Amino acid sequence: MRVGWLAGWRGCICRAGHARRALPVRAIATCGLALVILTSQALRVPRATNAAAPPIRRDASQGAAGHFLSAGVPWHFRFPQDHAAHFRFASEWWYFTGHVRAVDGRRFGYELTFFRLGLRPGDGRPGRGLSLWRGNELYPAHFALTDEAGRVFVHYERFAREALGAGYASSKVLDVRSEGWTLTGPSPFRLHASVDGKAIDFALVSEKGPAVHGHDGISKKGPCATCASHYYSMTRLRTRGALTYGGARFAVDGISWMDHEFGSDELQANQVGWDWFSIQLDDRREIMLYLLRQRDGSVTPESSGSLIDAAGRVTYLPRAAFFVEATGSWRSPHTGGVYPSGWRVRVPRARVDVVLAPVLLDQELANTVGGVSYWEGAVDARDGVSGRALGVGYVELTGYAGAVTL
């Protein structure tokens, strides 16, 4: 689940819509990029609507009548078109995580995520004769590496406006860019990010078709009509390429996961964070689960997941179909936040009983520009009874080092 990211600088986001220059994240630290929930309130633009939305044209790129579209209505995915950007929705992200191994056996985890944020519904790209400084879209991006042998975790950020082409996404084909970091695809997906002597250049080939989550293309995030996103995953991506780290360039191969999600008004004010899990089992099954946490400590009933079998068939998992129990905790030395650390995950109908263990305790993206922190890390999966290795995964935890604020 990628329900938003991108606010914490809600005042700055409005000013960014009228800024006259596009600068990298280091130059706009006073505004900040924080990883928090994106809502139409945070943007101060009209809320999403589905009451009078016109039929969706597959080649249309902008919203109607001053509103972003709601993801609370059915969406019939069409590929490869739906790998591209959807500008009629307020927010969107392409999220990749993976586990790769060098020839010498050294293991790395990685994350590379591109976000797209629309500032004003219906305001398209500048046409002929208009200033190239103008831009209606923001393109933050996050890049992280976990060095398992060295017990080191590093993370970086980019922030680009559409102006002058610093940030870009196509609604026709998969082509997303943020200050020199790029994503193209899908045959294969290609990822590139480079900063501070760390880099990835990967080609990812899907071994399964897209796994669409929820019902009728709607992934519910709460009881309200617009509390939803359109959400699918590429759950088994064979990954090969080069990873640069510690002054060396490694040829690597491994397995990756991709989430693509878009919507306009996903979460509610009483939701303070979420726990999200992706698990890739050695028997070629995959599991996605998300638990949205509320201020009173309860879990949002609409939290759900998906089980993808070896042939790529998707089974929807309602909240009652799975169980997640934290087996320990970890206190961040950076923020003081206390995160669950280690989990037992059970899906009885699929005879899944696995224990997830972080490959490194400290995989916190601490004090990002804007001040919000979260944990996003590589985990190993083992049999809950025998301890036998069963696969790998990634876990994302938000709201533990300060509540996520709408």
User: Does the bond joining 80 to the residue before it have cis omega, within 30 degrees of 0?
Assistant: yes
pLDDT digit string, tens, across residues 74-133: 999 999 999 999 999 999 999 999 999 999 999 999 999 999 999 888 666 666 666 666
Would you state the pLDDT for residue 75?
Answer: 97
Would you state the pLDDT for residue 125?
Answer: 66
Please list, residue by residue across 233-271, b when 16 or more beta carbons sit within 10 angstroms of its beta carbon and e when fewer do. Answer: bbbbbebebebebeeeebebebbbbbbbbbbbbbbbeeb
Would you state the pLDDT for residue 403?
Answer: 56
Which of 388, 400, 405, 70 lies closest to 221, judged by CA? 70
C-alpha angle 226-82-18 in degrees, rounded to nearest 5: 65
Would you state the pLDDT for residue 39?
Answer: 32
H-type alpha helices, 72-135: none
Token pair in block for residue 367: 């004090």
Per-residue pLDDT of the chain (406 residues; tens, 9 = 90+): 544 344 443 333 433 333 322 222 222 232 333 333 333 333 333 445 443 333 333 333 344 457 899 999 999 999 999 999 999 999 999 999 999 999 999 999 999 999 999 988 866 666 666 666 667 899 999 999 999 999 999 999 998 888 777 899 999 999 999 999 999 999 999 999 999 999 999 999 999 999 999 999 999 999 998 999 999 999 999 999 999 999 999 999 999 999 999 999 777 888 899 999 999 999 999 999 999 999 999 999 999 999 999 999 999 999 999 999 999 999 999 999 999 999 999 999 999 999 999 999 999 998 776 567 899 999 999 999 999 999 999 999 999 987 554 3
Q: Quick one: the chain helix, strand, coil %, rounded to 5?
A: 5, 50, 45
Token pair in block for residue 143: 């890049």
Contact yes or no for 335/366 (Cβ under 8 A):
yes
pTM: 0.86
248, 252, 254, 255 alpha-carbon torsion, rounded to 10°: 70
Token pair in block for residue 285: 């099954």
Neighbours of 231 (CB within 10 A): 28
Q: Work out the burial of residue 15: count CB atoms within 10 Å of its CB; fewer than 13 is exposed, 13-18 middle, 19 or more buried.
A: exposed
Task: Show the domains of the chain with their CATH numbers.
Answer: 10-397 (2.40.370.10)
Residue 39 contacts by C-beta under 8 Å, 6 or more apart in sequence? 4, 7, 265, 266, 267, 406
Backbone phi, psi, residue 148, to 5°: -65, -45
Would you state the pLDDT for residue 164?
Answer: 74
